[in-house]
Structure 1
């Protein structure tokens, strides 16, 4: 009887071990999937005026990962051809494609990505490869990735995403000169810039589409504010800091002496009045100045805001710089950090600190107008 009992126990153990051996986790396998596209265009040039045009439509099959779970996510990668997708960029602003299995690629996105690739050279044709990436699971350790078994190749000439520029000078600039005027967008010709000018005869030199001045188009005026190709030079009589504008569409230009101030509730008194900044020729910055103490440190309330306001000769209204607002384009575009507005806007630039309770302390304020349409500022606690 004992022998029979032992045999039953042994058989039970063997069955248990066999059951354990068969109970394995599912194993993911890259069984592949295919991508397709609409007709691939012959080598072509991208133009900003065609940003909204579709280049291709991409579709793909559901990836086969060898398991029943179908919840894979998909992204689309682009890389320079011949690199085996080394350091690829991801379309759709890096996000998963939802809903999956199709994606439309437009001129604006293709050009933006092309400008970020290491093989990009302004004005030259380039070739890129595109593939679909499937990811099953989440987390670096647990995610299982595979790629479409094929890829798409496009050959095209991108355009530069840099703003169109000009150089306002007494002599023609060198090919690699730094522009001192820029337009508000790729498709506009409303150039502006702030600069220190010495007396002399000035003309406008327009860069090429890549932002260089090998063969600039030269513009001048006729003394009445009208700009024309090969026009007469503009005479600057008095040295100073100027706001220079040129609009090739409206055929107008202006050269105005300006000085800068700040105002706002961060001030301890007369919050709507101007407090003058002082121009520092050595750094090219406008800086706060406390005349009573002969220092650049001014007293401001932490957590409260300021804006910058210009006074101009001839007089000009509405030259106010505040916090960046993406809705402000055209003449109100001042770069990715600041926007033009008016003194009624709530676009304050806030002083470091908290409002409650209000604490007034020393700060150094600077306004940096050296790079056209890319203006910056700083509000730094005094050391």
Structure 2
């Protein structure tokens, strides 16, 4: 994993800093982690839910734009934290440095036992479901096959990340390029559809009519923003590997701003493309909007969108597992996890001291 041994004392656990990760992630790698974990299966699934909640194409595009703006504001706040506390570990290390040992222990426990594993499981299932679509036309694949394929995806990504840091980053960059190409196909297809039939502009995207039918309930708009923000999730992952980022004071803000901006623009253009090919009712009734778009525009080649969604989710899986492993590394270094059997008693002593003193 590109680790080097040092002997400095580090953290609240008062233990020697046995391992320190080398800085091997440049600006391109940082962008691939930010944008690559943000672009998952959400953009292939969430647009129909956003539109169904808000009730009109114009309002749905507004929700997507505001979700991007809110994600940028949150990412900029995280950037400031990452430049002030320039340590890996993300949420865990910030809670530790600001609130102390006990809250940090529970933050690490939540991330290691609940949040990250459940997120990885959901991503792997998305990968297998989309990847198996071409092999089971007209029906859903058996759940046993889906789960086996999901387990295989996790095993493959874990193997890649165990072999080498540079290999994992290269995989992340390659799959980011694949994601952007897949979304670009959708964008170009929408441009072609609009150029062939200008009535689409009048029906779905005209400013005067696109907001007709917009709901006014705060609860429905809240659910729409939830779906939009879920699709933008992942902008925080680079902060989990700050110590591996070259010149983090420069590359961390650059990577986050470029990555979030890229994703926001792509998401807006992709949603415009969806609305240029499908009516709002068709989009809402679709189970997987990108696949429906592919069947209408690409015809017999529509299965390409299923593969694009699978590749997109695979890149998110790789990025999430890559950054999630650093939580355990940093928590062990700080004395909240067992570094070795000999150190178990000392770790428990440190934790007890942090709770009662």
TM-score range (shorter-chain normalised) is under 0.3
> Of Structure 1 and Structure 2, which has the larger fraction of its residues in strand?
1
* Structure with more of its chain in helix, by fraction: 2
With normalisation by structure 1, the TM-score equals 0.22
